[in-house]
Chain A
Amino acid sequence: MARNMNMMKCPMPSQAPDVRNRNFNEVALGYTYEMAVEEARRCLNCPKKPCVSACPVQIDIPAFIACVAGEDMEGAYRVLSASSALPAVCGRVCPQENQCEGKCVRGVKGESVAIGRLERFVADWHREHSHETPAAPEKNGHKVAIIGAGPSGLTAAGDLAKLGYSVTVYEALHLAGGVLVYGIPEFRLPKEIVRKEIEGLKAMGVEILTNMVIGKVLTIDELFEEMGFEAVYIASGAGLPRFMGIPGESLKGVYSANEYLTRINLMKAYLPGSKTPIKKSRKVAVVGGGNVAMDAARSAKRLGAEEVYIVYRRGMAELPARKEEVEHAEEEGIIFKTLTNPVEVLGDENGFVCGMRCVEMELGEPDASGRRRPVVKEGSEFTLDVDTMIMSIGTSPNPLIRSTTPGLETNRHGCIVTNGDDGLTSREGVYAGGDAVTGAATVILAMGAGKSAAKAIDAYIREKNA
């Protein structure tokens, strides 16, 4: 087969910006079969495989791409699923530019191979063409409990189930998926895809119990003593939203990004006739510059807001969001007010938001994070005309588990302390990973932690029973 030496990636077919910013359908439409094969032939199959070492779950990337190039899509899927429990999700939401694609040799001159788009294609192809249900592996007679059905918990569950463990996942919400269902919007990650991936795990024998808030309904000690689990993996995420502590944050029309996105995604407030209310906004300010801020801004636009601002205290170059997300937001008409910081939310006589006092910032000397510290420009105060403000300045881990588990060490941010390598906490048999340990990070890092923990839990239980 002929190698494709085109310097550029095959472009991703997408909905036009002025169409998609009025609907919640997926923005990126996915490669066609021909595009995927053509793009796969850009891979040089180089001996060092730098892409694999940059993947948190170490997918054998050249092997799956070789299958695509050779038009063996089922073979490609087998390679993916050997390492990833959620390939259709990762192909969509991983920051590939900082991971696999960032290390791709083709990226030295020109663009890297479109690894993420190919991963997505293979997972979608499998979902649409394969009707085999994965067989439940033979049980080994040992029980593991997982707290939280988000990306980290589901990954650990999948890996442990493959090894024969009886795995029970406890989920606090009424639906499994964690941030994949309450946070990331439909237009970036259709919920039907998440549902199908979770169904695959259930077919492998993973039990998922929803409506179970561990720390309240059962403690970790009770999971061991009464329920007979031999190990527990805590993957409860970082769900507690932060606010700025400025005047006016309690006004009606100030949301945390978590609340705004949960109403829209989990509770389906975007659908006509939904029973969940959400404010019909005219002008919206989203405070923050991460991926969640982009999701909130783009959702607000789709709900019909005339003007949506991203208000961020540093510059465009410092935005923590993925470049692709920033570009998509700009294309959809989101206005970036960078080097701007809110100092007060203004309210009308009925307690609704009617504006936001802001100051302009400039960048000074680098701070502890290595980024230049934003400082207030003297006399730069101005009012932004908005009726909704969405706070997207980060989240902290939930206190429900640490406050009910004696002997579980946490740091001053409330994150669970582990040995760093495999997620072992200060309690025997208790492992933790994902945002509950790192604070808010990415889906794929959480999945990587789930993989390491599954391996460590398997080794721990084997050794204990040897």
Chain B
Amino acid sequence: MFTIVRKERLNPTVTKMVIRAPFVARKAEPGQFIIFRAHEDSERVPLTIADYDREAGTVTIIYQIVGGSTMELDAMREGEDLCDFVGPLGVATHTEGLRKVAVVGGGVGCAIAYPVTKKLHEQGAEVHAVVGFRNQDLVILEKEFEAASSRVVKMSDDGSWGEKGLVTAALEKLIQEGNAYDEVIAIGPLVMMKFVCAVTKKYGIKTVVSMNPIMIDGTGMCGGCRLTVGGETKFACVDGPDFDGHLVDFDEAMKRGSMYRDFEQHAREASCNLLRKEAD
């Protein structure tokens, strides 16, 4: 069913997979996500859609190996089938009518920032991409961003790629240079999105962020993915995953994200041991 058509290592911890899923590919839009299960006894894991090809009937996912489930996925090879692959879930990123946009991507979040960059570019909007990584070894999708935006600002924590510094500083510089953005779209670690929002709030620029909390079903059933947005409880899976970044309670979201940290740590070690055994 959900065959891995292509698997490509983008950097030491980030992998791209192209999955055959014709029904999902027909409807997928930037900003939406899928949920996969690698095997019959695996967890349900949400991943934002990185690309899609409606004609080929494929959906691309890009994931970072962070725990047992992504490790399990990463052990699978081209030609193998995922047990489950459901989507497209969530609401697509709003792009209509936007003429000038800054897309800010951080780390593996760039995988999600890319499809919306491409869509805006195809719609004729002027897109400035501000992309940041810890260092050069972790860079992904460099050529893709160059092809899909009128300007790419490259940042790294240690200066080994592009300029040294944070994406927030680079964004602020662009704004100060006089770029009047209709909207800023920020996708990356929670702390990055929080500080991007702090910058854009100062300048009164609408900012959309993509949230990826813990969730199970992805259809509004479990409520595990709830966030506080503008003082109201919202479910990331059906109300999002995009939200107005100036209204999101990031501190609460960061706390909730650590609910199962100890368990995940054990799961990761268990998967490591299992893989090591298989390799022996």
Contact call B223/A172, Cβ cutoff below 8 A: no
Name the B residues within 8 Å of A241 (CB-CB).
Answer: 221-223
Indicate which residue in A216, A243, A259, A279 contacts B88 across the interface (CB closer than 8 Å): A216
> How far in angstroms is the closest Cβ of chain B from A305?
17
Contact call B37/A174, Cβ cutoff below 8 A: yes
Contact call B221/A216, Cβ cutoff below 8 A: no
Instruction: Give the A-B contact count at a CB cut-off of 8 A.
Output: 110
Residue of B nearest to A268 (CB): B41
Name the A residues within 8 Å of B216 (CB-CB).
Answer: 259, 262-263, 267
Task: List which A251-279 residues lie within 8 A (CB) of chain B.
Answer: 252, 255-256, 258-259, 262-263, 267-268, 274-277, 279
Stretch at the interface among A37-45, A111-119, A206-214, A307-315: A206-214
Q: Cβ of A400 < 8 Å from any Cβ of B?
A: yes
Name the A residues within 8 Å of B264 (CB-CB).
Answer: 277
Complex-state Cα separation, A240 to B252, whole angstroms: 22
State the interface size on chain A (CB cutoff 8 A). Answer: 37
Interface centre among B85, B86, B267 (most CB of A within 10 A): B86
Name the B residues within 8 Å of A14 (CB-CB).
Answer: none
The contact string, 1 if C-beta is below 8 Å from chain A, for chain B 68-91, is 110000000000000111111100
Q: Cβ of A249 < 8 Å from any Cβ of B?
A: yes
> How far in angstroms is the closest Cβ of chain A from B94?
15
Q: Cβ of A173 < 8 Å from any Cβ of B?
A: yes
Name the A residues within 8 Å of B43 (CB-CB).
Answer: 267, 275-276
Contact call A210/B84, Cβ cutoff below 8 A: yes
Q: Cβ of A399 < 8 Å from any Cβ of B?
A: yes
The interface residues of chain A, by DSSP majority, are classed as loop
> How far in angstroms is the closest Cβ of chain A from B266?
9
Contact call B68/A258, Cβ cutoff below 8 A: no
Residue of A nearest to B218 (CB): A213
Name the A residues within 8 Å of B221 (CB-CB).
Answer: 182, 239-241, 258, 262, 398
Complex-state Cα separation, A423 to B219, whole angstroms: 24
Interface centre among A217, A267, A275, A277 (most CB of B within 10 A): A275
- Knowing that A245-B233, A259-B224, A279-B259 touch, tell me 16 more A-B residue pairs with CB under 8 angstroms: A174-B84, A210-B84, A239-B217, A240-B223, A250-B226, A250-B249, A255-B224, A256-B224, A262-B216, A267-B43, A268-B41, A275-B41, A275-B69, A275-B267, A277-B264, A398-B220
Pairs across A and B, CB under 8 Å, 24 listed? A172-B219, A174-B37, A174-B44, A174-B83, A174-B86, A182-B221, A211-B85, A213-B86, A216-B87, A217-B87, A240-B220, A240-B221, A240-B235, A241-B223, A250-B227, A259-B222, A259-B224, A262-B216, A276-B43, A350-B258, A351-B255, A351-B258, A398-B221, A400-B220
**Interface residues of B, Cβ cutoff 8 Å to A:** 23-24, 26-27, 37, 41-44, 68-69, 83-89, 216-217, 219-224, 226-228, 233, 235, 238, 249, 252, 255-256, 258-260, 263-264, 267
**Interface residues of A, Cβ cutoff 8 Å to B:** 172-174, 182, 210-213, 216-218, 239-241, 243, 245, 249-250, 252, 255-256, 258-259, 262-263, 267-268, 274-277, 279, 350-351, 398-400
